[in-house]
């Protein structure tokens, strides 16, 4: 189920963000970006792209700013 998978990806991004693991954040954000884009969820895809870019730059403060509290 895609909703369950999306929830797992979001949880993984949150855990990786807390652990300051930029590689995992980037990989999982990329996965979420593609999945959300395929389902027409433009805002989620945009945020995922921002997360991916910030993580690729290893800008963990930007990553933290994009994650829910």
**What's the rounded Cα separation, in Å, for the pair 39 and 20?**
29
pLDDT of residue 1: 83
pTM over cut 0.85: yes
Token output for 14: 């949150």
**What's the rounded Cα separation, in Å, for the pair 37 and 25?**
18
43, 41, 36, 42: which is closest to 66 by C-alpha?
43
The pLDDT of residue 13 is above 90 = yes
Give the model's confidence band at 12: pLDDT under 50 very low, under 70 low, under 90 confident, else very high: very high
* DSSP code of residue 1: -
| CB distance 40 to 24 below 8 Å | no
The pLDDT tens digits for 21-68 are 999 999 999 999 999 999 999 999 999 999 999 999 999 999 999 998
């Amino acid at each position: 189920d895609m909703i369950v998978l999306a929830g797992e990806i979001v949880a993984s991004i949150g855990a990786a963000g807390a652990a300051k693991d930029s590689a995992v954040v980037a990989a999982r954000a990329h996965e979420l970006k593609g999945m959300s884009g395929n389902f027409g969820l433009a805002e989620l895809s945009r945020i995922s792209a921002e997360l991916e870019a910030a993580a690729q730059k290893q800008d963990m403060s930007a990553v933290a700013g994009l994650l829910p509290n």
